[in-house]
Amino acid sequence: MIKSSFFREPIDRICFIIIAILSFVIIVLIGGSRICNNSECLLKNQPHVEEFSWQNQKISTQDQGFSLIFDRPMSLESVEENLQIEPPLDGKISWSGKRLVYTLNQVIPYGKNYRLSLKNAKEKFRGREKLGAKIEPFIAEFQSRDRAFAYIGSQEDESGRLILNNSTKQNKTILTPEYLTVIDFKFTPDTEKIIFSAIDERKKNNDFKKLDLYEVTSGLSNDLTTKIPSQLRLILEGEEYQNNKFDLAGKNGEIIIVQRINNEDPRDFDLWKIEPGKIPQRLNTRGGDFTVTPDRKAIAIAQGEGIAIIPIGNEVNESSINFLPKYGQVLTFSADGNSAAMINFNKDNSELRYTRSLFYVNNQGVEKELINIEGSIVDCKFNGNSKQLFCLLTELVQTKTEFQEKPYFVGIDIQS
């Protein structure tokens, strides 16, 4: 029996082995490119979701919608028919190429867990009516923020202290030490911190005018990480200047606008801008009550017989200031900044009686009087879709010896 030369030459044996290995790999790649399940062959390279903007996020009222980005063009109808959110969130879908945008019709309810799923949707080939492979099943989860609110305590060891009540987790946390008496507070936009003014009871000759500004962590989280509450930091002392009303500006509330009066000279009265790492800056702005606009880039301040809108910038000139005559105070803006609730202080000269009118004003030129009362309009806030106002008002009650103001809440439908 004659042996083949293949078995006699080492180089031939090596070449044969390499060819066999490569042939096997090619066969595996070709044969493995298709998977058959229940007699239906699917491409192994299925279409899939590349990005979901709310993946493992905590969603707040500022989040008005999410996006899904696919790796290839999809059949719009098949995606829209098979997209599911549990519990349901009412909204509308729009497309931009491979990007789906889902915009909520209402503010997302707080304190809930959500699950988004998509399966059975198919890819779409350009210029072809027949649809391609089914999408790789996609499941994702997200949460809405905890139902929580802060308040100033009034009972026993909570008196004068800042309290966070988390009704989702059914607990409450005292955020400030007992030596601080809190006067006013505001959450930063992400709610992870609270800026507040307070009196330090430890100081000798305690003066209620000497309010300091502080920052404290709330313990609330803007994502799924755990935050530590009650971490306190002093921002601005009130020894030289009396710190009155304040509001937050900047993208994340990092700029504080505060109304300050010199303790030695009441004529020295101005708004100041407080920024991290910078010396407090006087804005050289005369006026009374003020509020920061929703974009956090300007100040609406009462000046004389109207409201001035002044940008929060390093250079402010006359041409950059807008003026709204007639109104005496801005109470609040809608979230989108397109409308506002304002107060007009009226006077009936014939009876020497004073009344206050609440007006709804928007950027389309609408000026609508909602109420006219002899009491006070303490504060108002728009609801999520800016169609209603919720206000704290007072009724002027006359007794035999004095006038008294009785507080009450109202809800006002702006259309009706």
Q: Domain segments of the chain: what residues?
A: 5-32, 43-144, 146-238
Check residue 289 and give its pLDDT: 83
Check residue 40 and give its pLDDT: 42
CA distance 175 to 162: 6
Check residue 288 and give its pLDDT: 78
Provide mean pLDDT across the span 283-300.
Answer: 85
Bigger pLDDT: 281 vs 39: 281
Is residue 384 pLDDT above 90, yes or no? Answer: no
Least confident of 33-42, 221-230, 405-414: 33-42
- Would you list the DSSP string of 95-137? EETTEEEEEESSPPPSS-EEEEEE-S-EEE-TT-SSEEEEPPP
Q: Report if pTM > 0.85.
A: no
Is-contact 213 221, C-beta < 8 A? no
CA distance 149 to 143: 18
Check residue 31 and give its pLDDT: 59
Is residue 316 pLDDT above 90, yes or no? Answer: no
- Confidence band, pLDDT 50/70/90 cuts, at residue 130: confident
**Secondary structure class of 15 (helix, strand, coil):** helix
Distance between the two ends of the chain, CA-based, in angstroms? Answer: 108
Which residues face 151 on adjacent strands?
163
Cβ neighbour number for residue 143 with a 10 Å cutoff: 20
Provide mean pLDDT across the span 4-33.
Answer: 68
The amino acid at 23:
S
214 CB burial (10 A radius; 0-12, 13-18, 19+): buried
- Would you list the DSSP string of 153-200? --SGGGTT-EEEEETTTTEEEE-S-TTEEEEEEEE-TTSSEEEEEEEE
CA distance 388 to 106: 14
The Cα-based distances of 289 to 178, 198, 259, 304 in angstroms read 30, 20, 9, 11
Domain 43-144 has CATH 2.60.40.1220: yes
Provide mean pLDDT across the span 196-216.
Answer: 84
Q: What burial letters (b/e) apply to 262-274, b meaning 16+ CB within 10 Å?
A: eeeeeeebbbbbb
Chain length of the chain = 416
- Confidence band, pLDDT 50/70/90 cuts, at residue 36: very low
Backbone angles phi and psi of 133, in degrees to 5: -70, 155
Bigger pLDDT: 225 vs 258: 258
Provide mean pLDDT across the span 302-328.
Answer: 72
- Confidence band, pLDDT 50/70/90 cuts, at residue 102: very high
- Confidence band, pLDDT 50/70/90 cuts, at residue 69: very high
Check residue 30 and give its pLDDT: 64
- Confidence band, pLDDT 50/70/90 cuts, at residue 314: low
CA distance 411 to 380: 9
